[in-house]
Amino acid sequence: MELRTHGARAWVEFTDPADDGQVLRCDLTWLTSRWTCIFGQGCPGIYADRPDDGCCTHGAHFSDEDDEKRVRGYASRLGPDVWQLRDEGLRGGVVETDDEGERKTRVVDGACVFLNRPGFAGGTGCALHAYALSTGRHPLETKPDVCWQLPIRRAYREAERPDGTTYLEITIGEYDRAGWGAGGHDMSWYCTTATEAHVGREPVYRSNEPELRALIGDKAYEQLAAHCEAFLAAQLPLLVHPATAASPAD
């Protein structure tokens, strides 16, 4: 069941211990939720007519040139045992440009070129993810930035204090439907507000610790984790993520 309400949220703000010119603004309600990726474990996909794609139907837009270069580098290491569409990727390439001129992973037969389809001997799912696991790496090393960050959203804003000084505000929150732009409303299903995806054994700030450390740095993560732990331990009524509260796991 997908809930269509964002719900009340609890946020924390703190100065980045590694850079006093930055302030972290973090969604405690999301980061302490029990969301977990359920690809291959009941995920119906973001489009009803492509239930095996997960959220890989459109391919992945690169965040910058370094992101593309890194993904290309790992793509060159993929063998046929982990990449179903390797021949097609070698023949036609792994990158394309969308209608707005943005570079992204190529779509082949309706989904990302790196998506292994059902029936592949190497397993269904992202070939870059599979390669990472098979070589002792974390998937954030091999996958496009947007893929390993999702559904955590990092946003930047230049903010001004009443005294006229400025600082960089870094927001860490939930990458919800709205984060996808107008196209988010066309999705048949989306996981962050779906109760069936809020069945994790650990809260997001723990299950996605490597990703959060990569996004905000080790010192900031340690402080964020302390805030999350204090939030969960509070005796006051908590602003629990609505999908976690309604999940059958609770």
Q: What is the pLDDT of residues 206-233, one digit of tens each?
A: 999 999 999 999 999 999 999 999 999 9
Residue 230 CA to residue 236 CA, distance in Å, equals: 11
Torsion sign (Cα): 128, 1, 8, 245: negative
Do residue 71 and residue 137 come from a single domain? Answer: yes
Do residue 171 and residue 219 come from a single domain? Answer: yes
The domain boundary, picked from 149, 171, 205, lies at: 149
Phi, psi of 11 (to 5 degrees): -120, 155
- Region 17-46: mean pLDDT is 97
Residue 54 lies in a domain: no
Do residue 223 and residue 183 come from a single domain? Answer: yes
Say if strands 22-27 and 166-174 run parallel, antiparallel, or are unpaired. parallel
Residue 174 CA to residue 83 CA, distance in Å, equals: 30
> How does residue 237 score in pLDDT terms, banded at 50, 70 and 90?
low
Do residue 165 and residue 236 come from a single domain? Answer: yes
> How does residue 34 score in pLDDT terms, banded at 50, 70 and 90?
very high
> How does residue 78 score in pLDDT terms, banded at 50, 70 and 90?
very high
Residue 240 lies in a domain: yes
Residue 90 CA to residue 47 CA, distance in Å, equals: 28
> How does residue 236 score in pLDDT terms, banded at 50, 70 and 90?
low
Classify residue 2 by its DSSP letter.
Answer: B
Residue 213 lies in a domain: yes
Range(s) of the domain holding residue 215: 11-37+153-245
Residue 64 above 70 pLDDT? yes
Q: Which residue has the higher pLDDT, 185 or 83?
A: 83
The domain boundary, picked from 97, 115, 149, lies at: 149
DSSP 84-144: TTHHHHHHH-SEEE-TTS-EEEPEETTEETTEEPTT-TT-SEEHHHHHHHHTT--GGGTS-
Do residue 159 and residue 240 come from a single domain? Answer: yes
Do residue 188 and residue 234 come from a single domain? Answer: yes
The pTM assigned to this predicted structure is 0.92
Residue 5 above 90 pLDDT? no
Residue 121 lies in a domain: yes
Buried b (16+ CB within 10 A) or exposed e, 170-198: bbbbbbbbeebeeeeeebebbbbbbbbbb
Do residue 221 and residue 179 come from a single domain? Answer: yes
Say what the pLDDT of residue 243 is.
83
Classify residue 195 by its DSSP letter.
Answer: G
> How does residue 250 score in pLDDT terms, banded at 50, 70 and 90?
low
Do residue 160 and residue 145 come from a single domain? Answer: no
The domain boundary, picked from 87, 116, 149, lies at: 149
Residue 96 lies in a domain: yes
Cα 224 from chain centre:
18
Total structural domains within the chain = 2
Residue 52 lies in a domain: no
Do residue 127 and residue 177 come from a single domain? Answer: no
Do residue 75 and residue 103 come from a single domain? Answer: yes
Q: How many CA atoms lie within 13 A of 40 on its CB side?
A: 9
Residue 242 above 70 pLDDT? yes
Residue 235 above 70 pLDDT? no
Residue 53 lies in a domain: no
Cα 50 from chain centre:
20
Do residue 127 and residue 169 come from a single domain? Answer: no
Q: Give the residue ranges of DSSP H helices in 11-85.
A: 28-31, 65-75
Say what the pLDDT of residue 183 is.
84
Share the mean pLDDT of the chain.
Answer: 95
Residue 183 CA to residue 172 CA, distance in Å, equals: 22
Residue 99 lies in a domain: yes
Do residue 181 and residue 232 come from a single domain? Answer: yes
